[in-house]
């Protein structure tokens, strides 16, 4: 039952974001232009990251900071954004920039780095970079050993 509810939340969240990206406004008044589009891989990738980071859970850190990727700042703190659109834009930029700078990185490399700052680290407590990479890759229908840059184009 919990899995069904989680799936429903993801579908409704995805529907809300794709509807917003077609000219609507987000609930916080942010412009929908910065919401990921469903027409390319970056939208589904950022949606999968947001799911892993708790974006769809009311009151989560990701929601409170408008930071769907819980992207950190120097010093280990999570960055705050003025609205959800800006948070998604920042997450999209992070993924695209790192994929461009490291075209050889597969999903395992990307999410080891995303969670730990090192492609070779196994992560700390409550960090499971391999499972994270597999979830994101599977959400867009690719093998986790696929280079991220190749799915972004």
**pLDDT confidence tier of residue 39, bands split at 50, 70 and 90:** very low
Backbone angles phi, psi at 94, to 5 degrees: -60, -50
The reply to whether 146 falls in a domain is: yes
The reply to whether 7 falls in a domain is: no
**pLDDT confidence tier of residue 35, bands split at 50, 70 and 90:** very low
Residue 106's beta-bridge partner residues?
Answer: 147
The reply to whether 21 falls in a domain is: no
Helices within the chain (DSSP H only): 2-20, 42-52, 61-64, 84-101, 107-116, 129-139, 148-152
Q: For residues 65 and 16, which has the higher predicted lDDT (pLDDT)? A: 65
Q: For residues 24 and 86, which has the higher predicted lDDT (pLDDT)? A: 86
| Residue 75 pLDDT | 61
Domains in the chain, number: 1
Q: Is the pLDDT of residue 34 over 60?
A: no
The reply to whether 107 falls in a domain is: yes
Q: How many residues does the chain have?
A: 153
**pLDDT confidence tier of residue 37, bands split at 50, 70 and 90:** very low
Cα 48 to Cα 14: distance, rounded to the nearest angstrom: 10
Percent of the chain with pLDDT over 90: 60
Domain region containing 112: 41-152
Global pTM value: 0.72
The reply to whether 94 falls in a domain is: yes
Q: Average pLDDT over the chain, rounded to whole? A: 78
78-127 pLDDT, tens digit per residue, is 899 999 999 999 999 999 999 999 999 999 999 999 988 888 887 777 78
| Residue 27 pLDDT | 32
Q: For residues 132 and 39, which has the higher predicted lDDT (pLDDT)? A: 132
The reply to whether 103 falls in a domain is: yes
| Residue 74 pLDDT | 57
The reply to whether 1 falls in a domain is: no
The reply to whether 10 falls in a domain is: no
**pLDDT confidence tier of residue 48, bands split at 50, 70 and 90:** very high
Q: Which positions ≥6 away from 76 have C-beta within 8 Å? A: none
User: Cα dihedral angle (151, 54, 3, 22), rounded to 10 degrees?
Assistant: -60
Residues 47-85 as b or e (16 or more Cβ within 10 Å = b): bbbbbbbebbeeeeebbebbbbbbbeeeeeeeeebebbb
């Amino acid at each position: 039952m919990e899995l069904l509810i989680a799936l429903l939340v993801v579908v409704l969240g995805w529907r809300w974001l794709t509807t917003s990206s077609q000219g609507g406004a987000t609930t916080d008044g942010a412009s929908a232009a910065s919401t990921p589009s469903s027409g390319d891989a970056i939208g589904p990738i950022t949606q999968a990251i947001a799911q892993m980071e708790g974006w769809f859970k009311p009151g989560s850190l990701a929601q409170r900071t408008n930071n769907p990727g819980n992207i950190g700042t120097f010093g280990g703190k999570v960055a705050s954004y003025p609205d959800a659109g800006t948070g998604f834009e920042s997450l999209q930029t992070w993924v695209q920039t790192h994929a461009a700078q490291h075209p050889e990185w597969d999903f395992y490399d990307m999410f080891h780095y995303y969670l730990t700052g090192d492609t070779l680290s196994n992560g700390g407590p409550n960090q499971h970079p391999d499972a994270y990479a597999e979830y994101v890759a599977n959400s867009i229908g690719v093998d986790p050993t696929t280079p991220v840059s190749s799915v972004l184009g």
